[in-house]
Structure 1
Amino acid sequence: MPEIRALRRLTESIEHASVLDKAVDLDRKVVRVLARPRALRQLLHGVPFGHPIHPLMVQVPLGAWISAAVLDLVGGRGNAKAAKTLVGVGVVSAGSASVAGYVDWSALDREQLRTGWVHQAVNWVGLTLYGFSWLQRKRGNTGAGKLLGFAGLTVVSVGGYLGGHLSYRQRAGVSRDGEVPYESDGASESA
């Protein structure tokens, strides 16, 4: 599939950004310590479901945020309250999606780890913008809440692009035999 050259240069620069390795290695160790129990890792990888659950879990915050954006564009008093609720649902549900993503990420190879690290960093910026959007809406500053929401949606869209690159170009989390790829013992530190 053809790809815009500027986007390809961007993703290649992330894949080869060895400057990220210290942060990547530190975060990877933290994830592996926190997700040490084998049963927890398998659940968060999606082994019982037959495929990774992170892609499924991101549908809730993204759906909520996209719906909030539509309501913000349509306007109206009732829509403002509903949009605030949807922004909140997105913020709350993003946490569990992130946890599953971190566990999947911790088992990747070096270039995938770098891309995944930037993917999560970008998405945390978007999540932060959405948190501020919800706060502004709660305080009655609907205009500021909408602007922060649109900024958040833009940022998480960039994060989504990187997640797609990670899955489809870098083949992260894809196995040849149809099994959910995961590290069964968490002991491997190579990448």
Structure 2
Amino acid sequence: MSGADAAVPGPSTVSAPRSGASFPAMRAAKVPRAIVAGPYGHPFHPVAVTIPIGAWSSSLVFDLLGLAADDPRAFATGSRWLIAIGLGGAVGASVLGLLDMSRIPAGTPARRTALVHLVLNVTAMVLFSLSLVLRMLDLARVPVVAFGLSVIASLGLSVSGWLGGKLAYRWGVRVADENTQREGFEAA
């Protein structure tokens, strides 16, 4: 077993077929690139994405309230703050996501899916940034164009989230291998 394989948790692959958790490329995608990405089997990227998702989803609620209110100033202000918080959180989540993506081998369906996930997230960040700029030009209300940009960005995030789930739950990127998972189901 090479030095690289010795650092990877899971079963030995000396005589095992190249499938499942014994496949070296798949095993490599389960191991963190750096400690800031989270420990083995517990990545920080899925935790970090809750900040922008929650902030941006809440901003849409504030937008709807602002569009319906007689005096939309408070809702418009809240929405601006939430979009800014979401952008800050998205930067942190992006760094963690890039660390996780860097472990996925090039030329694989998982890598292509991760790239689409990345492009959708960057597009959402750009659209929310543009929405925030438009909002800064009109502090008294929720500009309809800014709201529209936020809606489009949120729809893209929904697709991106589905792809992120596919990476983790279908292909097991940064998820512990089956031998480690089995520990949670064995009788004590």
Scaled by the length of structure 1, the TM-score of the pair is 0.68
Q: Which runs of 4+ in 1 moved over 4 A?
A: none
Matches within 5 A, 1:6-155: 41-47=33-39, 51-75=42-66, 76-109=72-105, 110-140=108-138, 142-155=143-156
Q: Distance in 2 between matches of 1:108 and 1:52?
A: 14
Task: Give how far 1:165 is off.
Answer: 1.2
Shift of 1:77: 1.9
Structure 2 portions without partners, runs of 5+? 1-31, 67-71, 182-188
Aligned partners of 1:130, 1:61: CA distance in 2, in Å?
11
CA distance in 2, matches of 1:59, 1:98: 12
**Distance in 2 of aligned mates of 1:121 and 1:178:** 32
Cα distance between partner residues in 2 of 1:174 and 1:78: 42
Cα distance between partner residues in 2 of 1:41 and 1:172: 12
CA RMSD, aligned part only? 1.9
Q: For residues 92-125 of structure 1, what are the alpha-carbon distances to aligned partners after superposition, in whole Å with 9 as ceiling and x for unaligned?
A: 2101101101111111242211110110011111
Q: From the CA coordinates, give the structure whose radius of gyration is larger.
A: 2
Q: Who is 1:171 aligned against?
A: 172
The answer to whether the Cα contact below 8 Å between 1:44 and 1:99 also exists between their aligned partners in 2 is no
1:156: Cα distance to partner?
1.1
- The whole-number CA distance in structure 1 between the counterparts of 2:109 and 2:144 is 40
CA contact (8 A) 2:34 2:99 kept: no
Report deviation, 1:45. Answer: 2.2
Identity %: 34
Question: Post-superposition shift, 1:153?
Answer: 0.7
Q: For this pair of structures, how many residues does the alignment match?
A: 139
Q: Which runs of 5+ in 1 are unaligned?
A: 1-39, 180-191
Q: Please state how far the C-alpha of 1:166 moved relative to its aligned partner.
A: 1.1
- 1:65–1:90 contact (8 Å) kept in structure 2: yes
Give the 3-state SS of the residue equivalent to 1:123 in structure 2.
helix
Q: TM-score, normalised by structure 2?
A: 0.69
